[in-house]
Amino acid sequence: TYIGNVVISINPYQKLPIYTTEAIFNYRGKSLYELQPHIYAIADDAYRALRDRDEDQCVIISGESGSGKTEASKVVMQYIAAVSGKGKDVELVKEQLLQSNPLLEAFGNAKTHRNNNSSRFGKYMDIEFDFKGDPVGGAITNYLLEKSRVVNQADGERNFHIFYQLIAGASEQILDDLYLSDNTQDYNYINLHSEATEADEYNFTETLQAMEVVGFQSIEVKYVLQLLATVLHIGNLELREAEDETGNELCEIVPNRDLQIVSRLTNCKIKQIQYAITQRLVETKHEQLATSLTVSQARYARDALAKAIYGRLFSWIVDKINESLTVKESTAKKVMGVLDIYGFEIFKTNSFEQFIINYCNEKLQQIFIEMTLKLEQEEYISEGIPWTSIDYFNNKIICDLIEKNNGILSMLDEECIRPGKVSDQTFLDKLNTRCSTHPHYQSKVMKKFSRDPSLDRDSFRLVHYAGSVTYNVNGFIDKNNDNLHRNVSQAMYTSGNPLLQFLFIEGNPKLSTHKRPVTSGSQFKKSVAKLMVNLLAKTPNYIRCIKPNDKQIPDDYDISVVRHQIQYLGLLENVRVRRAGFAFRQTYDKILYRYKMLSMATWPRWEGDAKAGVQEMIELFNMEEWRRMRLDDLATEIQAAFKGFYLRKWYLQLRRSQISISANWRSYRQRTNFLSLRSASIVVQRFCRGWKARVVVKAMLYEKKCTWAQGIITKFFYGWKARKLYRALKYEKQCTIAQGVIRKYYIGWKARKLARALRELKRRRLAVGVIRKYYFGWQARKLARDLREKKRRRLAVDVIRTYFFGWQARKLARKLRIERKRNNAATIIRAYYIGWKIRKIYRKKFPSIAAPKVYRFLRLTLNYRFLSTIIDELPSESPVEKSWPSCGPMFEQVSDQLKEMHHIWRCAKFRHRLSPAQRKIYSEKLLASQLFNSKKEYYTKTVGVPFRGDYCGLGKHPLWKTVTKGYDKDKEVHWADTVIKLHRGNGKGVPRILAVTGAAVIILDPKTLELKYRIPLHELTALSFSPYNDTVCVIQFRVDKTLPHLKKGDFLIQTHHIIELATKITLVLKELSIPNDSSIVKIANKFPINFYGKSFNATFIKAQETLIDAVTKKKRSQLEIYI
């Protein structure tokens, strides 16, 4: 039914056949009261007012939870899409607007006790139209999603629809990719008593189609599903108590399968997830402290992470829809707003969410009161019309209690930012102190309600326009703060999932701030205030939804439930105001616009004040009848003008037809005459051309006979002339042959004469060579005999010297052996003497068998003394220490063995003390010693200098990845330094960066890092060095002119780290398992070198004066390198 322009809609809890295409056609273009009351009627009235009168409209849908507000908003949008214009772009916008509803319902709606499809968020949609009334875009604003439902639901209620749709409707492949099962009981965040239905399976397909229509990319859909699965698996993370080393209580996550799945889905490391949930990062001005959380605190952090992921994902989906609905052209637009927001809620246990929802409904009720009750009565009074005031309940006092500076929301924010110990109980104490005198506030501390059993110590009660609601304050502080630990955001920002990283952008260290985030209450209050301003700027259209019963069954009307809703919605007062007021009212501008045709003074345009124009017309009574008559006159004038235009158009068409017929007839007649004349002229021309042709044929036949006769005569003449020429040529040929024969015989005689002379000369030269050869051979043999004689003499001298030195050495050795024997003999004699002396003294006291025992005792005593001396005088544990305690000849062999064993032991101990990095350094130094020790003078200067590898930080340079793109092994830099590359031609040095990577030798420009050469290591043949104290190295490669990087030949470089360069290249070659017949390092004074495919003999020469850089000189096939 209607109350003025307010539609009263009752939820039938079933599908009715009144929302069909035929119904849309019936209500299209009709006035509001012309047909039965319908949502289509109010939607059509709003649409025509927007299209025809250029007025922005809004449709405000309000009512309790379960009264059908969401369905009413879909009906409004369905009607707007059906009656607006057509076109490819328009249809796309319509489809996106319609498909946004199932998408937002999947992510934002859930089953509650009062509604199977309850909106758990507020939605205000602005639909933008062009000047024709076609939708061109839109924008959606969402208000306060009930995130707590993600982690906890009341008995008999469900989580958000999308979780059940995903589990029931996703394919096995999707479930496997997300590590999900098809059983809702496997997840802690889903109520054990709630199950997925067949409708969820169908709705999942519809949700995916809606995402595709709205403009989601396939990869974005994949990321959304991954985050939904992540939320479910986060709920399965198990927490347990533990203790650290000091015995303090802390919490840890059980390392089960769900933890690994969360790590895979978020692409975060397991340690980062554990750190985010079980610890909290506290930042001060100067430092950061990480504190361990208890199990309850960690459980709160886990649930906060799940709620944050889902809440931010929902906001991102709304932003994505707005992005696709954004108007592309910046032209003037008309706007129709549709408000579908959560209804008034009274549950058994009401928390912060119900408080915010009911506050929003209070503000909407206040707008309704202002626009329909208060403003209309004030308008009658301001117009001076007699009016009896109608009383109504003004809920402004409740709105002030909640939102004013000293209101409940302000006190909640004060308690959240107050230093010291803050809890929900301190907040309740503050409410009891400041609001105890308010008529709409009730608490247990108030005497009047101290014995009220419905109130407990943790609750307070507000008397709303729709009834009294008791709110439990537990969780108010945390839900209002809605804080997420900083380390949680930082961990999520490190995720490899781009969407998750975008949702937690505040985790970026560059965007880190210590500014306190806005509380949920303050943010919602600002959003509601902005919404109120937006609604007041438009012409309102109301749909008041009423539910017939609380059981959600059709055809059952509970009178008490309906009466209660009618009373608190203010519908009775609205009816009284409408009955007491005028049936019609309108502004002067609109009346003048509608009836200005009735008076010649106001038609067609009135320049003065609108009220004066209305007074000019108001003298006419029965304005509608006069308007109808005037419309008839105007219609007659319009018809006359139209008929005149139509007849003139018909006359012009007939005139054009007559002219066309005349032109065609004249054309036909002239063409007929032309064709007869052309036929006669053709006959005359044919006979004339025949006579001329016959004359020409006769002349051509005569000319042909003359030409034939001329040819016969010419042929006989040319034949005679040719035979005469042939005879002359035949005679000339015979003469030429004779001349050739004579010349041949002459030249042969001359050649034979010359050959004889040459043979004689050759014999003489051969004789001279033979004589010279025998002479030089005789001289060589004579010189060889002399040399052999000298060699025999030198050899004899060496042999005599060797025998002499050997005789002297043997003589000295015999002398030493004799001396050693004497010393041993003296020792033995002394020992025997001491033994004899002891035996003589103690013979009477010991039996004869005591001698072996005494000997054994003395032996052990000497061994003990020897070992004690060794222990007391042991050298240090340094492997390079060479000292060792001295001993007598008796223990020389044992002392040598102990010395060797001690050295092996301290070397092993020294190796165990080394770290892996030190072992690597010593192994590199050992390899360098094997390559260069006692072979190159410069090596001794580098022994104490540690190897650094990358001297110029090439591996960390931002351009290095670009240079090595396509070569994975080149990314690891083993050695890099700025070297002096000696030019192959002029010997001048230029600075270059030489790098040894895991697969190649790379030469770069030091300024721009431009790649000059890249030569794979398997092409390397040798690293040549001189034995002197220089820093020159020749890098030699395989010769191949067909390859661009090998055609220039070998490289001459100069660097102070040549020892490290050779060592690193040798190690890399061993890692690559490149076979080498011998060591890659060559040390010599002379060696072959290749430049541009030509071979040179390189020679190192010490310069007389000290040179800073090496100097090269080319002399034919010699290359001299001065160092």
3-state SS, 322-336, equals HHHHCCCCCCCCEEE
CA separation, residue 971 to residues 84, 954, 958, 964, 967 (Å): 62, 10, 12, 6, 7
Catalytic-residue membership of 777: no
| Consecutive H or E run containing 744 | helix 623-842
User: What 8-state DSSP symbol labels residue 371?
Assistant: I
Token pair listed for 493: 């920002």
Nearest to 361 by CA among 156, 569, 188, 150: 569
DSSP string, 277-314: HHEEEEE-SS-EEEEE--HHHHHHHHHHHHHHHHHHHH
Selecting among 11, 62, 67, 70, the annotated active-site residue is 70
- Nearest by Cα to 239 from 304, 188, 309, 302: 302
Q: Catalytic: 115? A: yes
Contact 1032, 1025 (CB under 8 A): yes
Task: For residue 202, give every residue at least 6 positions away whose Cβ sits within 8 Å of its Cβ, in sequence order, or none.
Answer: 169
Torsion sign over Cα 349, 355, 356, 361 = positive
What DSSP line would sit under 440-495, residue for residue? TEEETTSGGGTT-TT--TTEEEEEETTEEEEEE-TTHHHHHH----HHHHHHHHT-
Q: Catalytic residue among 9, 67, 101, 115, which?
A: 115
Rounded to an integer, what distance in angstroms lies between the CA atom of residue 171 and that of residue 205? 10
Only one residue has tokens 């899409």, namely 81
Q: Is the dihedral of CA 230, 233, 239, 245 positive or negative?
A: negative
Alpha-carbon distances, residue 698 vs 686, 690, 691, 694, 702 (angstroms): 19, 13, 11, 6, 7
Rounded CA Rg of the chain: 57
- Selecting among 11, 65, 159, 481, the annotated active-site residue is 65
Which of the residues 71, 345, 362, 403 is marked catalytic?
Answer: 345
Proportion of the chain in helix, strand, coil states, percent, rounded to 5 = 55, 15, 30
393: burial class by Cβ within 10 Å (0-12, 13-18, 19+)? middle
Beta-ladder partners of 990: 981
- Per annotation, catalytic residue among 118, 361, 372, 602: 118
Q: Is 330 a catalytic residue?
A: no
Look up tokens 């013979």; give the residue.
843
Contact 871, 884 (CB under 8 A): no
Q: How far is CA 42 from CA 53, 54, 71, 101, 365, in A?
A: 16, 17, 15, 20, 19
**Is 940 an annotated catalytic residue?**
no
70 is catalytic: yes
**230 burial level (CB within 10 Å; 0-12, 13-18, 19+):** buried
Residues near 769 by Cβ (< 8 Å), separated by ≥ 6?
none
Number of Cβ within 10 Å of residue 739's Cβ equals 10
First-to-last C-alpha distance (Å) of the chain: 109
Query: Distance between CA atoms of 693 and 697, rounded to whole angstroms?
Result: 6
Phi, psi of 1004 (to 5 degrees): -125, 160
Instruction: Give, to the nearest 10 degrees, the angle between helix 486-493 and helix 295-325.
Output: 50
Q: Amino acid letter at 840? A: K
Q: Residue 839 and residue 847: Cα distance in Å, rounded?
A: 10
Known catalytic membership, residue 690:
no
The encoded tokens of residue 554 equal 């059709």
Q: Give me 34's structure tokens.
A: 């012309």
Active site residue 116: no
Catalytic residue chosen out of the listed positions 63, 66, 235, 337: 66
- Other C-beta atoms closer than 10 Å to the C-beta of 291 total 10
Residue 1060's nearest CA partner among 946, 979, 917, 944 is 946
Type of residue found at 631: L
User: Is 119 a known active-site residue?
Assistant: yes
- Which of 119, 895, 1026, 1031 is an active site residue? 119
Catalytic positions: 65-66, 70, 115, 118-119, 343, 345
